[in-house]
């Protein structure tokens, strides 16, 4: 390919060994910011864009690069890219599908265990040299129902771990998932997932079809005392409905995409005792970081060889 443009990256931001592997596939490499006033001029002769999770790649930007063939997104999420329009122009969009599966699945259970065993309060109490235990009474996961909304790579891994713990796993997905069904997971309509689950995991990509899939009506059906964990984009849920239900004491809500939300909304969640807010750290492990960059480079290498990987459009 002739030219690659890294949008919203700065020269030197990418590790030298990774950048060298990327650069070798192009005659020239350039950097720009999506907010640059002359961004359309800077990308006009690009064959490939490399973009961050929040970089908006819309019709205008795609049309500005007539030779564009490839868009590489350095994340699992890709909702900032107009993937349908890219496909209509013959442009492949590749994400980092699967790079952080284990990290996110393990974080799901880490946050769940911490919550149902009240570990934060226990640690703080012990720091005060108070070793009493009468006020603690946790819950066990074995024989409880885990509802998995979205059984892609991460959702399927969460289901597999849940089954290994001894949970009853039910899942919602557009397609049947034989791999987890063989282990004992059962596919259900979304309404039945939210009504019958003690613990719920949301693991969907955000698009026009999935935005607020867990709607106000669906939130109302969630059983009292359930724990809802969303390690995916917040707009998958009706945020106001979740906040209201958590404020009533009927629901514990845990999420980590706090950086993707309006700060005023995050603050409202922080003010509710039944809401646990994390920075976006579910994907942050040493192993996932290695996988992330290897996948990022591998995607363009495979694309050039005519065997594209992680194409999402």
Tell me, yes or no, whether 57 lies in a domain. yes
pLDDT of residue 12: 87
Tell me, yes or no, whether 310 lies in a domain. no
Tell me the DSSP string of 151-175.
-SHHHHHHHHHHHHHT-EEEEE-SS
pLDDT at 77 over 90: no
Tell me, yes or no, whether 313 lies in a domain. no
Question: Same domain for 131 and 90?
Answer: no
Question: Same domain for 215 and 118?
Answer: yes
Cα gap 313→310, rounded to integer Å: 9
Q: Mean pLDDT across the stretch 293-300?
A: 95
Q: Mean pLDDT across the stretch 211-226?
A: 96
Question: Same domain for 272 and 127?
Answer: yes
Q: Beta strand pairing status for 168-172 and 226-230?
A: unpaired
- CATH of residue 254's domain is 3.40.50.720
Task: Give the domain extent around 142.
Answer: 101-277
Question: Same domain for 94 and 106?
Answer: no
Question: Same domain for 132 and 254?
Answer: yes
pLDDT band with cut points at 50, 70 and 90 for residue 97: confident
Q: Mean pLDDT across the stretch 81-90?
A: 96
Q: Beta strand pairing status for 275-277 and 28-32?
A: unpaired
Tens-digit pLDDT profile for residues 53-65:
999 999 999 999 9
pLDDT of residue 136: 97
Tell me, yes or no, whether 65 lies in a domain. yes
Question: Same domain for 127 and 93?
Answer: no
Give CA separation, 296 vs 91, 190, 308, in Å.
17, 33, 12
- For the chain, the domain total comes to 2
pLDDT at 260 over 90: no
Q: Are 222 and 200 in contact (CB under 8 A)?
A: yes
Tell me, yes or no, whether 311 lies in a domain. no
Question: Same domain for 31 and 46?
Answer: yes
Question: Same domain for 169 and 252?
Answer: yes
pLDDT band with cut points at 50, 70 and 90 for residue 203: very high
Question: Same domain for 150 and 177?
Answer: yes
Question: Same domain for 118 and 248?
Answer: yes
Q: Mean pLDDT across the stretch 139-152?
A: 97
Question: Same domain for 145 and 231?
Answer: yes
Indicate the average pLDDT of the chain: 96
Question: Same domain for 93 and 109?
Answer: no
Tell me the DSSP string of the chain.
--EEEEES--TT-S-HHHHHHHHTT-SEEEEE-TT-TTHHHHTTT-SEEEE-TT--B-HHHHHT-TT--EEEESSS--TTB-HHHHHHTT-EEE--TTTTHHHHHHHHHHHHHHHHTTHHHHHHHHHTT----TT------TT-EEEEE--SHHHHHHHHHHHHHT-EEEEE-SS--HHHHTTT-EE--HHHHHHH-SEEEE----STTTTTSB-HHHHHHSPTTEEEEE-S-GGGB-HHHHHHHHHTTSEEEEE--GGGS-HHHHHHHHTSTTEEE--S-TT--HHHHHHHHHHHHHHHHHHHTT---SB--
Tell me, yes or no, whether 282 lies in a domain. no
Tell me, yes or no, whether 309 lies in a domain. no
pLDDT of residue 297: 95
pLDDT band with cut points at 50, 70 and 90 for residue 11: confident
pLDDT of residue 163: 98
């Amino acid at each position: 390919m002739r030219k690659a443009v890294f949008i919203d990256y700065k020269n030197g931001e990418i590790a030298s060994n990774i950048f060298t592997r990327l650069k070798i596939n192009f005659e020239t490499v350039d950097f720009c910011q999506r907010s640059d006033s002359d961004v359309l001029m800077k990308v006009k002769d690009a064959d490939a864009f490399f973009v961050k999770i929040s970089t908006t790649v819309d019709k205008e930007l795609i049309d500005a690069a007539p030779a564009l063939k490839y868009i590489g997104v350095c994340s699992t999420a890709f909702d900032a890219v107009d993937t349908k329009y890219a496909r209509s122009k013959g442009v492949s969009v590749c994400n980092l599908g699967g790079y952080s599966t284990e990290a996110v699945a393990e974080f799901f259970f880490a946050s769940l265990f911490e919550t149902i065993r009240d570990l934060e309060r226990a640690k703080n109490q012990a720091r005060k040299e108070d070793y009493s235990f009468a006020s603690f009474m946790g819950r066990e996961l074995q024989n409880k129902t885990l509802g998995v909304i979205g059984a892609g790579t991460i959702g399927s891994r969460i289901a597999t771990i849940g089954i290994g713990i001894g949970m009853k796993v039910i899942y919602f997905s557009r397609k049947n998932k034989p791999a987890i069904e063989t282990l004992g997971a059962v596919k259900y309509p979304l309404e039945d997932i939210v009504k019958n689950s003690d613990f719920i995991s949301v693991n969907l990509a955000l698009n026009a079809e999935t935005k607020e899939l867990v709607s106000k009506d669906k939130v109302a059906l969630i059983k009292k005392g359930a724990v809802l964990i969303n390690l995916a984009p917040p707009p998958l849920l009706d945020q106001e409905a979740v906040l209201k239900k958590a404020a009533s004491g009927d629901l514990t809500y845990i999420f980590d995409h706090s950086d993707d939300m309006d700060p005023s909304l995050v603050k409202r969640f922080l003010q509710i005792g039944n809401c646990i807010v994390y920075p976006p750290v579910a994907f942050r492990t040493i192993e996932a970081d290695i996988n992330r960059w290897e996948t990022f480079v591998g995607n363009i290498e495979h694309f050039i060889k005519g065997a594209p990987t992680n194409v999402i459009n």
